[in-house]
A and B are shown apart, each in its own frame.
Chain A
Amino acid sequence: MKLERIRPTVAAALLSLCLGSALAQAPAPIRIGFLATFSGALAPLGRDQYDAFMLAVEQRGGRLGGVQVQVLKEDDQFKPEVGTQLVQKLIERDNVPIITGITGSNVLMAIAKPIAEKQVFLISTNAGPSPLAGAQCSPYQFVASWQADVIAEVVGKYAADKGYKRVALMAPNYQGGKDILAGFKRLFKGEIVGEIYTPLQQLDFSAELAQVTASKPDALFAFYPGAGGVGFVRQYQQAGLLKTLPLLTTGIIDGTTLPALRESALGIVAGHVWGPDLDNTANRQFVQAFEARYDRIPSNFAAQAYDGALLLDSAISTVKGNLSDKIAFAAALKSADFKSIRGKFQFGRNNFPVQDLFIFEAVKDAKGRMTMKSIAAPLKNHADMYAAQCLMK
C-alpha cells in the first residue's frame, strides 16, 4: 500500500518540475481520471466505455496526443455521493487535469460543479443532462456523446417522416423518461394516443402493453434503459406485438442488450448517434479493431468513449502536452479537430455536440450476430434545444 502513495507523489513532483521548465523536454505522463459505472445494472455501459477508451490509448502506444497517459479507473457505482467522493480523490490526491467517462446523469449532475470549480476538464462520453447544456454550461465541461433529448427527437422526426398518425408512448416514471418522451413529441406532429409512465423498477409490462394495444396506435415509442429494456422487448415479442405493432425505441436496443435479446429484437427500430455500419474510414477501422481486441461488436457507448479519446488525442496534441494553459486547452478541445467515427462532429457553443442522428433497425449480420443497421438519417447537424440558454460565447 505504501507504493501506491509514493508513486503519485513522485509523479506529482515530476509533473511540477516539468511544467516549470516546459520546453523541449518530453512532458510527464498526463493522468486522466476515468470515472464510470462498473457495477450494478449499468456495468456493461461503463465497461464498454472503458474498453473503447483504452483501445484508443493502446493503439497509440499508451499515449494520447503524443504524450504518455495514465488512466485511473474509478467506479461510481451509479451513486452520486460515491461519484463526488471519487472526484475529490482524483483531483486532490491524484491531481488529474482531466476527468472523463461518466455513465449516469445523476452522477454527472453531482460532480459537474465541483470539477469546474477546480478548473479540471470534464469530458463526458455518455451522460448529457439538459441543465448542463443550458444555464449550467461551462468552458471546462464537454459532452462528447449527446444531449439526452436528441436521441428521442430523431425518432420523433422519423415517425413523422414515416407517416405514423397515432403513436403511443411508454417510459419509466423519472426525469430521464419524461425528458425523452418530451423530446419525441417535439418533432413528432401526429396524435399521441397514450403517454404511459410506468413505476420505476417495474419489470412486468403486460398490463401496460395490453392497454397500448387496446388504443390501437400505428406505432409505439418506448424508452427503457437497463434491465427493464431487455424484459420489455422479451415481453413485447412474447405478446406477439412485434408482428403487428411497429416498435420505435431509444435506449433499449444497443450493443450491450442485443446479445441477450437475439431474434426477439428483430425489426425493432432505434434512434441514435452512431451505429457499427456508419460509412467512414475511421469507423470501419474502429469496429474492426474493437472486434479483434474484445471479440464483440462495439456498442454506441464504446463508440462515444472512443471518440472522446480521439478528441483528447487531438486536443493534447494541439497544446503539445502542456495542460497548464487551460484557456488554450479549452480552445483546443472546443475546436474538435479530429476524425470522429461518427463522421461529422463539432461542438455547439454549450460544448455539446452538433451532429447527425440516425435511425437503425435490429438485424442479423453476415456472421449471424445481432447488430444495428442504419436505415435513415433524419437529422443532420442537429443541435440540442438548450444551447440558447447557455451564455458562453
Chain B
Amino acid sequence: MADHDNYTRTRWLAPAFVVAALALLPVAAHWTGQTYYQVIGTRIMVFALAAAGLNLILGFGALVSMGHALYLGVGAYSVAILSHYGVSSGWIHLATALAISTACAFVIGAVCLRATGVAFIMITLAFAQMFYFLAIGLRAFGGDEGLQISLRSRFGPLDLSDATTLYYVAFAVLMLTLVAMHRLVHARFGLLLRGVKNNERRMRALGFPVRRYQLVAYVLSALVCTMAGLLLANLTRFASPSYMAWNVSGELIVLVILGGLGTVIGPVVGAGVWIVLEETLTSFGLGLPNDGDAWMREHWLGFLGLLIVWVALSMRSGLYGSLVRRRGGTER
C-alpha cells in the first residue's frame, strides 16, 4: 500500500545519476579501450526496457504476466525473418514487429484478462509456451537452433550494426519510454490503473471500464517488450526460441520486483544490478586461497540465489524502492 507514494514525489537525484551513468558509459569505455563494457551496457538497457514494459502492468497494475518474454521473441524474430529475406530497413522491422505484437497482445490480453489471480498468471504462461514451441517448430527459420541475423536494422543514417550507435539508440528508446511511462502513470490512465490495483471492486462500482483500461495497458506493455526484442536481436545478431522460454518471463518478473514495484526507474535499477552481478560473480577475483575464486565463480548462481532471497526478505520495496524510501520521503 505504501509504495504507491514513491512516484508522486519525483526524486531526481537517484534517477539522474542512473541516466548520467548510462549516458557516459560509452565514453568511458572508449577512453579506456574496454569496448566490451559498452556491450554490457546495451544488454542492461535492453532488459531494463523489457522490465519497464512489464512494470506497467505488473508494478502499477498488479497483473502478473508470466508470458511477456513472448513479445521479446516477436520483436527478435521480426528482425531475423525480415533480415533473412533481405530487408534491412529498421523502420520496416519496427513496424512489422509492433503490428504483430499489437494484434497478438489484443487477442491474448482479451483472453487472459477474463481470468484473475493465479489463473491469469497461468494463462499468460500458456500462451508464452505456445509461442515458444511454435518457434521451435519453425524449421525454415532455424527451429531450436535459432536464426542468424545478417542484416541489422537501419534507421535512416543510424545503422545498428555499429555498437555505439546501437547503444545510444537503445538509450534513447529507454529514456523516451521511461518519460512516457512517467507521464502515463501520473495521467488519468495511470491513476485509474493504480486505482484498480488498490481496489478493483471500488473502481468498477464507480463505473470505470476496468477491463478496457487493463487491456490497453497490457498492449502497451507488450509493445515496449517488442521494442526491447528488436534491440536484443540487433545486439546478439541472433533470434532464438530460448528468448521466449518461461524462465525468461520469470527473470523479467524478478527484475521488476528487484528494482522496486511501482517506480518508473526501478526496472532500470533491477536490470542493471542483475546483469552487473552476473558479470562480477562470474569474473570474481578476490584472491581467495585454494582456488576459492574459481569455486565461487563456478557456483555463482547459488550466490545470486542467496542474494535474491536476502533482498526479498529484507527489502520490502525492492532495491530502488528501499533506497528512495530511506531518503526520507513522506508517505501519505
Residues of A at the B interface (CB closer than 8 Å) are 1, 3-5, 38-39, 74-75, 79-81, 84-85, 88-89, 92-93, 105-106, 109-110, 112-114, 129, 173-176, 178, 199-200
With known contacts A81-B242, A84-B236, A110-B240, A174–B143 Cβ distance under 8 A: yes
Distance between Cα atoms of A174 and B134 in the complex (Å): 11
Q: Which of A5, A80, A81, A113 has the most CB of B within 10 A?
A: A81
In the assembled complex, the Cα of A173 lies from the Cα of B241 at a distance in Å of: 14
Of the candidates B139, B238, B301, the one whose C-beta lies within 8 Å of that of A175 is B139
Chain B residues engaging chain A, CB cutoff 8 angstroms: 34-36, 39-40, 43, 133, 136-137, 139, 142-146, 148, 150, 232, 236-238, 240, 242-243, 280, 282-283, 285, 287, 298, 301
List 12 A-B residue pairs with CB atoms under 8 Å apart, sorted by A's residue number: A3-B285, A4-B285, A81-B242, A84-B236, A92-B35, A92-B36, A106-B146, A110-B146, A110-B238, A110-B240, A174-B136, A175-B139
Q: How far is the CA of A84 from the CA of B280 in the complex (A)?
A: 18
Known: A38-B298, A113-B148, A175-B139. A88 touches B39 (CB 8 A): yes
Q: What are the 8 tightest A-B residue pairs by CB atom distance, in nearest-first order?
A: A175-B143, A93-B36, A4-B285, A110-B238, A174-B144, A92-B36, A84-B236, A80-B240
Give the CA-CA distance A105 to B243 in the complex, in Å.
16
Q: A146 CB to closest chain B CB, in angstroms?
A: 17
B238 touches A200 (CB 8 A): no
Residues of A within 8 A of B237 (CB): 84, 110, 113-114
How many angstroms from the CA of A1 to the CA of B276 in the assembled complex? 13
| A110/B282 contact (C-beta < 8 A), A80-B146, A81-B243 known | no
**A175 close to B282 (CB less than 8 A):** no
Whether A79 lies near B242 (C-beta < 8 A) is yes
Chain A residues whose CB sits within 8 angstroms of the CB of B35 once the complex forms? 92
B298 to chain A, nearest CB (A): 7
**Contact status A88-B144, CB under 8 Å:** no
Residues of A within 8 A of B136 (CB): 173-174, 200
Cβ of B43: which chain A residues have Cβ within 8 Å of it? Answer: 85
Alpha-carbon distance A4/B285, docked complex (angstroms)? 6
A199 CA / B39 CA spacing, docked (Å): 36
Given contacts A81-B240, A84-B238, contact A39 B146 (CB under 8 A): no
Select which of B34, B139, B142 is within 8 A of A109 by beta carbon.
B142
Alpha-carbon distance between A106 and B35 when the two chains are bound, in angstroms: 26
Min CB gap B238→A, angstroms:
4
User: How far is the CB of A70 from the nearest CB of chain B, in Å?
Assistant: 14
- Residues of chain B within 8 A (CB-CB) of A93 are 34, 36
Main secondary structure of the interface of A (DSSP, over half): helix
Interchain CB contact (< 8 A) of A173 among B137, B280, B282: B137
Determine how close the nearest CB of chain B comes to the CB of A245; give it in whole angstroms.
29
A106 lies within 8 A of B301 (CB) = no
Residue of B145, B282, B287 ringed by the most chain A CB atoms within 10 A: B145
Cα A200 to Cα B43 in complex, Å, equals 29
What residue of chain A has the Cβ atom nearest to residue B293's Cβ? A4
- Which chain B positions have C-beta within 8 A of A5? 34
**Residues of B contacting A114 in the complex (Cβ-Cβ under 8 angstroms):** 237
**Distance in Å from the Cβ of B72 to the closest Cβ of chain A?**
10
User: Which residue of chain A has its CB nearest to the CB of B242?
Assistant: A79
Closest to A77 in B: B301
| Alpha-carbon gap, A88 to B167, bound state (A) | 15
User: Please, which residue of chain B has its CB at the minimum distance from the CB of A110?
Assistant: B238
Q: Given A113-B148, A178-B139 in contact, is the A106-B36 Cβ separation under 8 Å?
A: no
Find chain A residues with CB under 8 A from B298 CB: 38
Chain A residues whose C-beta falls within 8 Å of the C-beta of B280 in the assembled complex: 1
Query: A85-B43, A92-B35, A200-B136 are contacts. A80–B143 as well, Cβ < 8 Å?
Result: no
Q: Which residues of B contact A39 (CB under 8 A)?
A: 301
| Residue pair B139, A105 in contact (C-beta under 8 Å) | no
Q: Which residues of B contact A109 (CB under 8 A)?
A: 142, 145-146, 148, 238
Instruction: Verify B142–A175 contact, CB threshold 8 A.
Output: yes
Residue of A nearest to B232 (CB): A81
Question: A84: which B residues are within 8 A, CB to CB?
Answer: 236-238
CB distance from A82 to the nearest CB of B (A): 9
Across-interface contacts of B282 in A (CB, < 8 A) = 74-75
With A and B bound together, what is the CA distance between A153 and B164 in angstroms?
47
| A26 to B250 Cα, complex, angstroms | 51
Do A175 and B39 form a contact, CB below 8 Å, given A39-B301, A81-B242, A110-B238? no
Q: Least Cβ distance of A280 to chain B in Å?
A: 34
- In the assembled complex, the CB of B36 is this many whole angstroms from the nearest CB of chain A, namely 4
Closest Cβ–Cβ distance, residue B71 to chain A (whole Å): 16
Contacting residues, chain B, for A176 (C-beta < 8 A): 144-145
User: Which residue of the partner chain, among A1, A129, A200, contacts B145 with CB atoms under 8 Å?
Assistant: A129
What is the chain B residue whose CB lies nearest that of A9?
B33
Closest to A79 in B: B242
Q: Give complex CA distance A174, B145 in Å.
A: 9
Residues of B within 8 A of A74 (CB): 282
Bound Cα distance from A191 to B103, whole angstroms: 46
Compute how far the CA of A102 lies from the CA of B212 in the bound complex, rounded to whole angstroms: 49
Instruction: Give A112 to B147 CA distance when docked, in angstroms.
Output: 12
How long is the Cα–Cα vector from A247 to B114 in the complex, in angstroms? 49
Kindly state the separation between the CA atoms of A92 and B285 in the bound complex, as whole angstroms. Answer: 19
Question: Within the assembled complex, what's the spacing in Å between the Cα atoms of A106 and B242?
Answer: 10
CB-defined contacts of B145 to chain A, threshold 8 Å: 105-106, 109, 129, 175-176
Enumerate chain B residues within 8 angstroms of A89, measured Cβ to Cβ. 36, 39
Residues of A within 8 A of B150 (CB): 113
With A4-B283, A109-B142, A175-B139 in contact, do A81 and B236 touch (Cβ < 8 Å)?
Answer: yes
Q: Which residues of A contact B143 (CB under 8 A)?
A: 174-175
Cβ of A199: which chain B residues have Cβ within 8 Å of it?
Answer: 133
